[in-house]
Amino acid sequence: MAYYKQIPLEFPEKDLRIVRLRNGGPEDTVTIEVIMMDPYNGSSGDRDPHDSTFSKLPYEALSWCWGRDGDVGVIKVVDTLQHETETFDMSISASLTQALRALR
């Protein structure tokens, strides 16, 4: 299996990568989708800095920088910018793998 390699954003000053957690059972491999989005609905050029579109999107935030060094888990990644039908492996901390399982 190939490992996930992110591609550069086309407009890094405004585009974001969002992770969508796919459903699964408690013991299933964690699978995420990496989605590129413009929080300002694709507007280009000048935009209203007070646009609240992005703040209205539902989300759950999770810190990924915790756990013991060396404890590693592997998840599957579907990158909608590259290959919507192909999955890639990604190594993450074991504690983050557990947290993602609990969220889904």
Residues 50-77 pLDDT 10s: 455 555 667 777 766 666 677 888 999 9
Q: What are phi and psi of 66, to 5 degrees?
A: -155, 165
Amino acid at 15: D
pLDDT at 44: 43
Structure tokens at 82: 């590259």
Q: Assess whether pLDDT exceeds 90 at residue 83.
A: no
Structure tokens at 44: 């280009």
Half-sphere exposure of 87 (CA within 13 A, CB side): 12
Q: What are phi and psi of 82, to 5 degrees?
A: -110, -65
Residue given tokens 């756990």 in the structure block: 67
pTM: 0.73
